[in-house]
Amino acid sequence: MEMANLLRTESEKITTRMLDLHGLFEHNTTFDYSDYEYKEDCIKLRSFVSIFVIILYSVALVLGLTGHVLVLVVLWQKRRSWSVTDAFVLHLSIVDILLLLTIPLWAVDANKGWSFGTGWCKVTGALFKINFYCGIFLLTCISLDLYFCIVHAVQMRSCTMPWLVQLICLAVWFFSLLLSIPDWMYLKAPSDPEQEETRIKCMYEYPCPESHLGSHLLYNVVGFLLPIFVLFYCYACILLKCRSNQGVQKHGAVRVILALVLAFIISWTPYNIALFVDTFSSSSKSPEHCKVQMWTAVKSTAVLGFLHSCINPLIYFGFSRKFRRWMLTVMKCGSCAVDSNDFFPWDSKEIDNATPATEEEKGSLQPMTEIGPTIKEE
């Protein structure tokens, strides 16, 4: 009997050990998967965005350099009869070419990160801002010249005052360089990222929040809002004047210059809005999940700014029939002589003020003026 009780006791102990799960179900907890990163999805999305941006940059580089070189050739061949707008267009093409030359560096940055050091980071970033400043200031100068010509019947010709036009252009460059000083100061490319998988970035490092706020407000207010206000005022007056004087032969110049301004505003407004929002946002405190290689709103909208550098030659090509025909001739035979002053829609004889009598005469003889050049070319 004692033996049986002993065996029963040992059997109960073994059963108890087998069923002892060490409190597995005593603690009922849940796991938080919010911090889990789908790294494979991030890598795929990052690769897609990088390839897409590289394709856009490549197209902009080829179209932009080809178009601006042809524009410079046209301006060189008609240099003896330059208008004020021709001088401004020359500087617009130069500043766009400078930005286009930096596109290969940004294409590499989109794919592998920044690998060119802090020096090139400052140069390319400053040229990006200089392109914006020169672009909007030169378009403002062109619009003011058109405004005085149409609204106040005052026209300034570069052939009579070339020094004044070139002085204005130099002032635009100098003022743009001054406004780009924050880019020269604060742009850096750290050579020792915190983690091995983190890419080196060309980014701003401000010493204090006040520097960050002042730099962005200088860009948004002085570089964007004030010129935009001037442009809107000029074209409001110009369109009212053209509407009241139905016979005035200036609409070609207004169309092409207005197209240049609208293309600039459409390309650069998203970037300025994103930069303005970034100035007052506290994005540094927000959690970041599946971050795509710093493709923030600011960096994404900056792509439109790069693409704008190839737009102006396309506008010239679309709005000037003679310029379009000249470009096609150059591409076919390699050379062509400019024998006319009106290869751009804004040339002097298209924006000259005319009395109602001469306007009527021009209107009645318009078909013959279109036939004349055709017979001469044949």
| CA–CA dist 145, 155 (Å, integer) | 7
CA-closest candidate to residue 42, choices 295, 287, 303, 286 = 295
pLDDT number for residue 365: 36
CA-closest candidate to residue 313, choices 372, 373, 367, 259 = 259
CA angle 314, 141, 278 (to 5 degrees): 75
pLDDT number for residue 362: 40
Q: Which tokens go with 321?
A: 């029939």
pLDDT number for residue 16: 53
What interhelical angle do 251-280 and 297-308 show, nearest 10? 160
DSSP at 309: T
Ramachandran region of residue 27, left (φ > 0), alpha (ψ -120 to 50) or beta?
A: beta
DSSP at 199: P
pLDDT tens digits for the chain (378 residues)?
656 566 566 666 555 555 454 554 454 555 454 544 545 555 666 677 778 888 899 999 999 999 999 889 888 877 777 778 888 999 999 999 999 999 999 988 888 888 888 899 999 999 999 999 999 999 999 999 888 888 887 665 544 567 788 899 999 999 999 999 999 999 988 765 554 455 778 888 888 888 888 888 888 888 999 999 999 999 999 888 877 765 445 566 788 889 999 999 999 999 998 888 877 774 444 444 434 444 567 888 898 999 999 999 999 888 877 777 777 776 666 555 555 555 566 654 444 443 333 333 344 333 333 333 433 433
pTM of the shown model = 0.76
pLDDT number for residue 125: 93
Q: Which tokens go with 337?
A: 């002589």
pLDDT number for residue 357: 35
pLDDT number for residue 176: 95
For 123, 124, 262, 310, 355, the CA distances from 128, given in Å and listed in that order, are 9, 6, 19, 14, 45
pLDDT number for residue 178: 93
Phi, psi of 109 (to 5 degrees): -60, -40
| CA–CA dist 132, 305 (Å, integer) | 8
Residue 339's CB is within 10 A of a number of other CB atoms, namely 11
| CA–CA dist 75, 81 (Å, integer) | 9
- Fold classified for 40-280+292-352: Rhopdopsin 7-helix transmembrane proteins (1.20.1070)
pLDDT number for residue 12: 61
